[in-house]
Amino acid sequence: MNETTAAQTASGETAKIIYILYLVGIAVGVTALVGVIMAYVNKDTAPDWLKTHYQYQIRTFWISLLYSFVSILLCFILIGFALIVVALVWWIIHCVKGLQALEKRAPIADVSAWGF
């Protein structure tokens, strides 16, 4: 690993890009997939405080996928439409919380959280 890449990883620039890709993924779904792949690639080489961000991003992706799938299934009984909005709000909140912690260079407090 060269010095520039190590410095970017330690500063959290890659994690910030992933959060941004996740937010852009609301409109362009494929960017979220690119983001989760980047999180998987970078999680092993990151410092401990940054590893929590990558784990959080990976969990955010998969849990959001589960919430969205269940919401779409429930659209047949109409409650799913409201749940899609809730899943979208959950996604945005997770990204914003992650970005805030990243700006403070702080680890994510509860990586395994399922709620807001």
The residue with tokens 């779409």 is 72
Give the count of domains, the chain: 1
Tokens of 65: 């996928």
Q: What is the pLDDT of residue 110?
A: 83
CA 40 to chain centroid, in Å, comes to: 11
Cα–Cα distance between 97 and 74 in angstroms, integer?
A: 28
74 part of a folded domain: yes
80 part of a folded domain: yes
Structural domain boundaries, residue 63: 3-103
Mean pLDDT by 10 residues, the chain (116 residues): 51 92 93 96 93 95 94 92 94 94 91 74
How many CB atoms are closer than 10 A to CB 6?
12
108 part of a folded domain: no
111 part of a folded domain: no
